[in-house]
Structure 1
Amino acid sequence: MAYKNQQEFIAALEKAGELIRITSYVDPHLEIAEITDRISKSGNGGKALLFENTGYAFPVLMNAYGSEKRMCMALGVEKLDDVSREIESLFKMLTRPKESILDKLNMLPKLGQFASWMPKVRSGRGECQEIIQREPDITKLPVITCWPKDGGPFVTLPIIHTKDPNTMIRNVGMYRMQVFGPALTGMHWHKHKVSAKHFAEYKKAGKRMPVAVALGGDPVYAYSATAPLPENVDEYMLAGFLRKKKVELVKCITQPDIEVPADADFIIEGYVEPSDELIWEGPFGDHTGYYSLPDWYPRFHITCITHRKNPVYPATIVGIPPQEDAWLGKATERIFLAPIKMTMVPEIIDMDMPVEGVFHNLVITQIRKDYAGQGQKVMNAMWGAGQMMFNKILVLADEGVRIQDYESLARYVFHNLDVANDVVFSTGPMDVLDHSCSKMGFGGKMFIDGSAKLEEEKDEANHFSGQPAINLVEADFSGFPEISNVNLSLLSKEIPCIIIAVNKDRAGHVRKLHQQVCRSVPGMEGVKMALYVEHTVDPGNLPVALWRFCNNLDPKRDQFLFSMPSRSEKGKNFNCLGLDGTIKTKEFDNFHRDWPNIIVAADETIEAVDNKWGNLGLGPLIPSPSLSFKEQVYGNEAVVQ
């Protein structure tokens, strides 16, 4: 389904009971983000929020994609899997042998459909250009400041248009933009991104790079800008496929080489000058739940701002999960399952990206297993597939379990797992936002093969047949004063994994502690994995503990396998893999990068929102989610090495 514009989408949300209008004044500086954070964590993503009184001329739309229902509404489908099934059907139709003239003629209607999805540049001006500011001032837009340690206000849902200067092929991406002045922002594109490659080509040619940023319009545009498409595939072709109607584009006013959606709410036109000095951009409270640290990025000079009459400014916040971006990620997980299956990993049945893994950290893949070593084949294919190259922990299962049932999945994986042989460590490119890597953008990866093993894959000495150490539930860890808490609850569910909160105070501490625990604590034999988290983390709160653990772990660097002959089973080995998910420092870990802080709202913002909550029309007071994390903040700033 195609929406004519963002206003039609807002009307559809309101009609479906998925939108709340807030008429009381709310400050875009921190307060909008705090309210949105509370609502997005209130259960099932809460509601979309339209802040109509911001102190600016324009209302602000938040949390529009923040639930499965609203994500489906944005894409015009009943279920997210519907898109994947349609893509798979198209792939099969296109690749099926065409043996007769009738087969070929039957293809014509589908080819016509393909043509109908291709974007079209129309003449004249679009609705997005009804109002033109030739002396642009972005500070007149209600650009939100999300978190108290952010470097400033950021445009958080920008649909950024660039072109390759050699081929003139368009790319549409989404990269945050910090506002530095009326006509200046940063352009936060990472070196792996296509727009950064375009910039490198303009730099080689010594040419100014035109850029245009769209805000609003059909909600499918923002999703398509985040989609992990192959290079040189037009994101507006995906948008046309999703909305079943081609995207109409118009040329920019001051940057006519760039075309933008005619129905957008705002267009910010400008350029990046390759000869400019870079600008110090950040910090920014990011989707990992941590602040991404400041760094040098290109300057974006604004030459014109246009907008439609009565536009709505769309924005989002990211931070400690769950947030709205989880549903954008879930859409990608479901939509791109079919292309991965059809082009790279034919044995794949399903995949899942748990919220606690913040997209790249943790991916679960299910395959149809037919031969020994197939898991490693899938591992290599997945880590070589587009943005999957950023994946840190890849867990593999087969047809024996439903991977969305996490408890059953964990039981199944650990039952099949020989931690000495079925866990593979590697290194490779990582997300620039991954703070655990010793070198930015390059770090460790871990593959956990939890599939049922064929005879060729088994090492009999390591196939300990004992049950998980259920008697460990009564174990005494009081001999280890550095251990503040232990979660043993998984053992009673036949999941041989424990989570230990530790107050690390010396070099090599966690590695040595793991050896001591494995040797001396009765009942440890049979435990296959011990996860170590910071002493401020409650290991009994599994979602939070796993979120902190996944973010702080570099698997290649932070792993240690304990192995000794079994005391209870002759001829067998007891193996337990320890993984250190604590904060890394120069003093204790020889870690030389700065370590970012987790994201929490300021006390004064929490108090201000509490005081005005009764006037917002949002029901009973929802306490700030930040209150649960205040004790986990380590000082006011990042840990500087």
Structure 2
Amino acid sequence: MARDLRGFLQFLEQRGQLRRISTPVDPDLEIAEISNRVLQAGGPALLFENVKGSDYPVAINCLGTEERVCWAMNMEKPAELETLGAKLGMLQQPKPPKKISQAIEFGKLLFDVLKAKPGRNFFPPCQEVIVEGDNLDLNKIPMIRPYPGDAGRIITLGLVITKDCETGIPNVGVYRLQLQSSTTMTVHWLSVRGGARHLRKAAQQGKKLEIAIALGIDPLLIMAAATPIPVDLSEWLFAGLYGGSGVALAKCKTLDLEVPADAEFILEGTITPGEMLSDGPFGDHMGYYGGVEDSPLIRFHCLTHRKDPIYSTTFSGRPPKEEAIIAIALNRIYTPILRQQVSEITDFFLPMEALSYKAAIISIDKAYPGQARRAALAFWSALPQFTYTKFVIVVDKEINIRDPRQVVWAISSKVDPSRDVFILPNTPFDTLDFASEKIGLGGRMGIDATTKIPPETEHEWGEALESDPEVASMVDRRWAEYGLADLNLDEVNPNLFGYEIGS
């Protein structure tokens, strides 16, 4: 598979996971409505070949299933993502090998790092066509408007590339951009993100911040940009680790920045510190329209693109959405990294229904009193991505944290709210979360749903109910004798638990 958007779309089509639509469609509301219905049904990626007002096709829903996310990362099974996470954990906190086998594994990782170093392409496809000056018109790009209350057209799946003016280390992030005019856009990023840090540094030195936007890129780069990595490491290196070979980069035509050579479009511009415009409202991942915020204004002066370029996009909203599917895959990558940061955590899960980051369920191998509270506090500080997690539920390692029935049982049977619930008030918070009394400032709740041990409790805990092992083994052997061999006991009827099938 070629390492670009076109190669991935071709790969999806070969596997029956791409549907081409030649009927004329409107980027204003219609594309999002169609895509949302297909995504909700677990359907294929879509390529709209006849978009009103534009000469360019639009690809959407490319990462709309966990299977397609794995394919984008050159993997076949989700379990392989944890192996990748273990590699990333070794890079983040390398330890001297104590055994020959460990030394060999670390040596393999270093070799992978060498292979993953980005390369240079001096004749990049992304610069086959160059548009500057009066010819530059961002309106020609088929940006979508997903919801009727949205303030305008947006870019949602572009790599936003900036560079630290002191260290020269780039940051690659995925931020929402709102079209403001034919040559300007606003960028919406949180203050803790890399691009915002670079802008603050540029302001301190009285400089403009150079910024490039890469559109229509290899989906693997989206995953690398969303992965938690140390500030002083490059997302390009991690993308190379994901793909097994270095990312081909090209120097921008007008900026001192490097961009993916095989991108479909590259936008080149600058931000003047302090120059802001109103951004929003837009539908966001919380399931509501966000507020209106003053955001940095980007002035673009150059656009380059491939011949016959393809524009790719997505949109936010109440799960499931593409971003939630991506988060499920990232959850698997985070797990080994988190275990390395907080050793007592055996597993963790970010439910999609909780927006993939608002609630975390973690399991621990409990060994001492107060350990659940310690694990929750450590979780909040382990990675920047967990800064805005509102609820942390800690359960015993025997609980299947991906089974809501088991988690709810643990909460109901093991928690005394007066003892096992603790709240941290007035912590930094997601500005898109309207549940907070003060925007940007809110509380967090930890719930200890583990079995209590002295001195957490002054009485003996009841003995857990379990089948007699000999009888259970006998029933296994005689199951066919009972005439029940046709029953699939791996699937539990949801109606038994008050759930409605198909709701």
Q: TM-score range by the shorter chain?
A: 0.7 to 0.9
1:137 corresponds to which letter in structure 2?
D
Instruction: Give the deviation of 1:68 after TM superposition.
Output: 1.2
Q: Does 1:51 align with 2:48?
A: yes
SS of the counterpart of 1:284? coil
CA contact (8 A) 2:67 2:78 kept: no
Cα 1:105–1:359, aligned 2, differ >3 Å: closer, same or farther? closer
Cα 1:221–1:106, aligned 2, differ >3 Å: closer, same or farther? closer
Following superposition of structure 1 onto structure 2, how do residues 305-454 of structure 1 map, counting pairs within 5 Å? 305-342=303-340, 344-385=341-382, 386-427=384-425, 428-454=427-453
Q: Does 1:243 align with 2:243?
A: yes
1:69 corresponds to which letter in structure 2?
E
Q: Does 1:231 align with 2:213?
A: no
SS of the counterpart of 1:382? helix
Q: Does 1:8 align with 2:17?
A: no
Cα 1:275–1:285, aligned 2, differ >3 Å: closer, same or farther? closer
Once the two structures are superposed, residues 240-271 of structure 1 have per-residue CA deviations (whole angstroms, 9 ceiling, x without a partner) of 1111111111110011x110010111111101
- C-alpha distance in 1, partners of 2:286/2:105? 48
Following superposition of structure 1 onto structure 2, how do residues 32-71 of structure 1 map, counting pairs within 5 Å? 32-42=31-41, 45-55=42-52, 56-71=54-69
Instruction: Give the deviation of 1:3 after TM superposition.
Output: 3.3
- C-alpha distance in 1, partners of 2:204/2:350? 38
Instruction: Give the deviation of 1:459 after TM superposition.
Output: 5.5
Instruction: Give the deviation of 1:207 after TM superposition.
Output: 0.4
- C-alpha distance in 2, partners of 1:448/1:68? 29
CA contact (8 A) 1:80 1:335 kept: no
CA contact (8 A) 2:125 2:263 kept: yes
CA contact (8 A) 1:184 1:299 kept: yes
CA contact (8 A) 1:171 1:232 kept: no
Show the counterpart of 2:78: 80
- C-alpha distance in 1, partners of 2:379/2:183? 42
- C-alpha distance in 2, partners of 1:106/1:400? 30
Q: Which moved further from structure 2: 90-99 or 289-298?
A: 90-99
Instruction: Give the deviation of 1:153 after TM superposition.
Output: 0.3
- C-alpha distance in 2, partners of 1:401/1:86? 25
SS of the counterpart of 2:202? helix
CA contact (8 A) 1:118 1:236 kept: yes
Cα 1:144–1:103, aligned 2, differ >3 Å: closer, same or farther? closer
Cα 1:252–1:108, aligned 2, differ >3 Å: closer, same or farther? same
Following superposition of structure 1 onto structure 2, how do residues 585-624 of structure 1 map, counting pairs within 5 Å? none
CA contact (8 A) 2:66 2:326 kept: no
- C-alpha distance in 1, partners of 2:236/2:349? 26
Cα 1:107–1:312, aligned 2, differ >3 Å: closer, same or farther? same
CA contact (8 A) 2:121 2:248 kept: no
Show the counterpart of 2:199: 199
- C-alpha distance in 2, partners of 1:244/1:460? 55
Cα 1:541–1:25, aligned 2, differ >3 Å: closer, same or farther? farther
2:86 corresponds to which letter in structure 1?
E
CA contact (8 A) 1:215 1:266 kept: yes
SS of the counterpart of 1:95? coil
- C-alpha distance in 1, partners of 2:185/2:350? 32
Once the two structures are superposed, residues 502-548 of structure 1 have per-residue CA deviations (whole angstroms, 9 ceiling, x without a partner) of xxxxxxxxxxxxxxxxxxxxxxxxxxxxxxxxxxxxxx8899xxxxx
Show the counterpart of 1:279: 277
- C-alpha distance in 2, partners of 1:416/1:169? 48
Show the counterpart of 2:297: 299
- C-alpha distance in 1, partners of 2:155/2:131? 18
CA contact (8 A) 1:81 1:335 kept: no
Cα 1:460–1:239, aligned 2, differ >3 Å: closer, same or farther? same
1:378 corresponds to which letter in structure 2?
A
CA contact (8 A) 1:28 1:145 kept: yes
SS of the counterpart of 2:368? coil
- C-alpha distance in 1, partners of 2:44/2:147? 21
- C-alpha distance in 1, partners of 2:204/2:328? 38
Instruction: Give the deviation of 1:95 after TM superposition.
Output: 2.8
Cα 1:454–1:364, aligned 2, differ >3 Å: closer, same or farther? same
- C-alpha distance in 1, partners of 2:173/2:106? 32
TM-score, with structure 2 as normaliser: 0.87
- C-alpha distance in 2, partners of 1:164/1:128? 24
CA contact (8 A) 1:288 1:358 kept: yes
- C-alpha distance in 1, partners of 2:174/2:292? 18
Following superposition of structure 1 onto structure 2, how do residues 507-522 of structure 1 map, counting pairs within 5 Å? none
**Runs of 5+ in structure 2 lacking a partner?**
464-493
CA contact (8 A) 1:3 1:9 kept: yes
SS of the counterpart of 1:61? strand
Show the counterpart of 2:466: none
- C-alpha distance in 1, partners of 2:282/2:25? 21
TM-score, with structure 1 as normaliser: 0.69
2:342 corresponds to which letter in structure 1?
V
Instruction: Give the deviation of 1:283 after TM superposition.
Output: 0.3
CA contact (8 A) 2:348 2:361 kept: yes
CA contact (8 A) 2:85 2:335 kept: no
Show the counterpart of 1:268: 267
Instruction: Give the deviation of 1:96 after TM superposition.
Output: 5.2
Cα 1:429–1:141, aligned 2, differ >3 Å: closer, same or farther? same
1:160 corresponds to which letter in structure 2?
V
CA contact (8 A) 2:318 2:355 kept: no
- C-alpha distance in 2, partners of 1:460/1:95? 43
CA contact (8 A) 2:215 2:265 kept: yes
- C-alpha distance in 1, partners of 2:323/2:87? 28
CA contact (8 A) 1:125 1:251 kept: no
SS of the counterpart of 1:185? strand
- C-alpha distance in 2, partners of 1:193/1:108? 32
Instruction: Give the deviation of 1:124 after TM superposition.
Output: 2.1
SS of the counterpart of 1:449? strand
Instruction: Give the deviation of 1:108 after TM superposition.
Output: 4.3
Q: Does 1:186 align with 2:186?
A: yes
- C-alpha distance in 2, partners of 1:186/1:73? 32
Show the counterpart of 1:211: 211
Instruction: Give the deviation of 1:106 after TM superposition.
Output: 7.6
1:310 corresponds to which letter in structure 2?
D
SS of the counterpart of 2:363? strand
- C-alpha distance in 2, partners of 1:348/1:68? 24
- C-alpha distance in 2, partners of 1:542/1:164? 52
**Runs of 5+ in structure 1 lacking a partner?**
466-489, 494-539, 544-624, 629-641
Show the counterpart of 2:117: 118
